[in-house]
Amino acid sequence: MHDAPNGAIERSPTVVGWTGMLFRPRRFAIVKVASLALTALALVSSARTANAQMSESERKSAARAAYQEGVTLQDQGKAAEALTRFEAAQKLFDAPTHLLRIAECQALVGKLVEASETYETLIRKNLGPNPPDAFVQAQQQGQGELTPLRQRIPTLRVTVRPDPSQMQNLQVTANGTQMPNEVLGITRPVNPGVYRFNAAANGWQANAPQDVNVVEREQKNVEIVMVQRAGMAATPGTVTLPPPPPPYAGDPNSAERLNQPFVQREVPSSLGFLFGVRAGAFVPGGGVDPNLSFENVASAGGGGAIDAYFRVARMLLLGGSVEYAGLKSPSKLDTLGAGVTADGSVHTTYAGLSIGLVPNIDRVSFIGDLGFGFRSLKQTLTESTGAEQTHSYSGTEFALGAGLSIPAGPIRLVPKASINYGEFDKAENCVSGNCNSTSISSTTGHTFFFVGLGVYYSLDIGKKPAPKVAALQPQ
């Protein structure tokens, strides 16, 4: 710089030139950085604004699309891909139908613990007043699936020897991730898979890493044995682990399930028919009248029945049955008198109406019925002299039956037991063609017990309602 006239200071052109070169790039960099920051902020703000402006209808529509894609992938056996779709649908809109599918896919890919928690969330969810049927069904189905899932979840208990209190700065790792020391010695649920355990502490280290394969339903105990090493101090990163073990492949049954397409559950049709036959043993008991017990009339025998029901409201059965049984000859024939022998045959028929219940005709389910009908019984005796006697009895009965419906395609296999109770109020006795009909004024009770197997055909009327995305309603 030089002194200029009038006291002004004259700057050297050389200095001005260098300072311009020194400060101009810095100013340029600051402006550029500020410009980029403003641009990024604008993009983020724009995205947030767009998301905030997404209407409820658009979110519902997007959730429905994601859910339907997930159903298709799950049906194709692609559980992992389906899981991402269902999770996206749940983020867009909270619905029990989403949670049910998420839990099912988590279980299919081996995330049993996560699936259990998802089911718990679903079951505890408050559906509010007048929820859609699909939401109620999803919650009920989830409650039914949770119990068998819990039985599949293995448990793991990790302990350290000697006692951890004798070591400082103890670090236990599972697959390279440090475990909280508070879980040591606690039996806890884990996902099936291969785990590698290692440990170190001040002056201690694990004798050797332990590889543990935990399979479904197993209760596994792991003990890590520590050995002293002079001069060692455990610090973060001291425990050196090999590469992570391979991902969980599941037990053979789980792997087979993963490779098979997911069987989509359907809701039974509202209307249908159920008809078929059953066969088994009939055992009579009690008395025919106050003076005649069944041991003088008939004993256990075999028989069958034809049952037909009209199914309404998905689970209610209205119909009837016709039974026929050939009973064995009586063990005693006191009514013929001393020294009289005879060959006998006994058969009985029953016809009645009944009302029944089967909670889900398309799945393994309880089936029961309550009926009222009419029974007739005929005993034919042919004496050694050639004379023939017939004794017929008739009366009303109440019937109570229960069984288990096992679906096999359209066929339903039903192991069943039932008991009938009634009284004979009319009798007809014929000896050598001379018949006499009487009313039994003083009646006594009798029973017929049946146990056997039924084979029925289930016919739906109309199409079954296909599983669909529930009408999304705010919770």
Range of the domain at 314: 271-461
Residue 472 lies in a domain: no
Residue 456 lies in a domain: yes
Residue 395 lies in a domain: yes
Mean pLDDT calculated for residue range 382-395: 83
Find the length of the chain: 475
Identify the band that residue 3 occupies on the pLDDT scale cut at 50, 70 and 90. very low
One domain, residues 392 and 443: yes
Higher pLDDT, 169 or 441: 169
| Contact in structure between 183 and 247 (CB atoms under 8 Å) | no
**Does 256 score more than 90 pLDDT?**
no
One domain, residues 355 and 395: yes
Strands 155-161 and 177-179, bridge-based pairing: unpaired
Q: Tokens for 429, please give them.
A: 């006795």
One domain, residues 315 and 419: yes
Higher pLDDT, 333 or 3: 333
One domain, residues 418 and 403: yes
Instruction: Give the H/E segment covering residue 122.
Output: helix 112-124
One domain, residues 361 and 419: yes
Sequence-distant (6+) residues with CB within 8 A of 455 are 276, 277, 278, 411, 412, 413, 414
| Contact in structure between 422 and 408 (CB atoms under 8 Å) | no
Residue 380 sits in a domain whose CATH number is 2.40.160.20
What pLDDT is stored for residue 337 in this prediction? 52
One domain, residues 119 and 196: no
Cα atoms in the 13 Å half-sphere on the side-chain side of 334? 7
One domain, residues 293 and 436: yes
**Does 161 score more than 80 pLDDT?**
yes
Percent of the chain with pLDDT over 70: 75
One domain, residues 312 and 432: yes
**Does 45 score more than 90 pLDDT?**
no
Residue 136 sits in a domain whose CATH number is 1.25.40.10
Identify the band that residue 84 occupies on the pLDDT scale cut at 50, 70 and 90. very high
Between CA 424 and CA 444 the distance in angstroms is 7
| Contact in structure between 351 and 372 (CB atoms under 8 Å) | no
What pLDDT is stored for residue 336 in this prediction? 52
Between CA 53 and CA 428 the distance in angstroms is 88
Cβ atoms < 10 Å from Cβ of 353: 12
Segment among 15-24, 198-207, 391-400 with least mean pLDDT: 15-24
Segment among 172-176, 184-188, 269-273 with least mean pLDDT: 269-273
Place of tokens 């209190």: 165
Q: Tokens for 92, please give them.
A: 């867009």
One domain, residues 228 and 320: no
Percent of the chain with pLDDT over 90: 61
Residue 293 lies in a domain: yes
What pLDDT is stored for residue 381 in this prediction? 83
Between CA 217 and CA 29 the distance in angstroms is 63
Number of domains in the chain: 4
Q: Tokens for 459, please give them.
A: 């016919």
Residue 48 lies in a domain: yes
Mean pLDDT calculated for residue range 157-170: 93
Q: Write the CA distances from 259 to 77, 80, 161, 250, 263, integer angstroms.
A: 6, 12, 42, 12, 12
Residue 234 lies in a domain: yes
Which of 257, 283, 315 is the C-terminal boundary of a domain?
257
One domain, residues 320 and 405: yes
Which of 230, 257, 284 is the C-terminal boundary of a domain?
257
Q: What are phi and psi of 469, to 5 degrees?
A: -70, 130
Per-residue pLDDT tens over the stretch 100-145: 999 999 999 999 999 999 999 999 999 999 999 999 999 999 999 9
Chain-centre distance of CA 164, in angstroms?
42
What pLDDT is stored for residue 17 in this prediction? 39
One domain, residues 251 and 378: no
What pLDDT is stored for residue 54 in this prediction? 74
Q: What are phi and psi of 365, to 5 degrees?
A: -155, 155
Which of 152, 184, 206 is the C-terminal boundary of a domain?
152
Between CA 115 and CA 100 the distance in angstroms is 9
3-class DSSP assignment, residue 433: coil
Mean pLDDT calculated for residue range 250-273: 56
Residue 8 lies in a domain: no
Higher pLDDT, 226 or 43: 226
One domain, residues 288 and 376: yes
**Does 1 score more than 60 pLDDT?**
no
Residue 204 sits in a domain whose CATH number is 2.60.40
Place of tokens 């050639």: 386
Between CA 52 and CA 111 the distance in angstroms is 33
Residue 2 lies in a domain: no
Return the C-alpha torsion angle 269, 273, 276, 280, nearest 10. 70
Higher pLDDT, 225 or 4: 225
Look up residue 193 and give its DSSP letter: E
Between CA 415 and CA 413 the distance in angstroms is 7
What's the pTM? 0.46
| Contact in structure between 100 and 122 (CB atoms under 8 Å) | yes
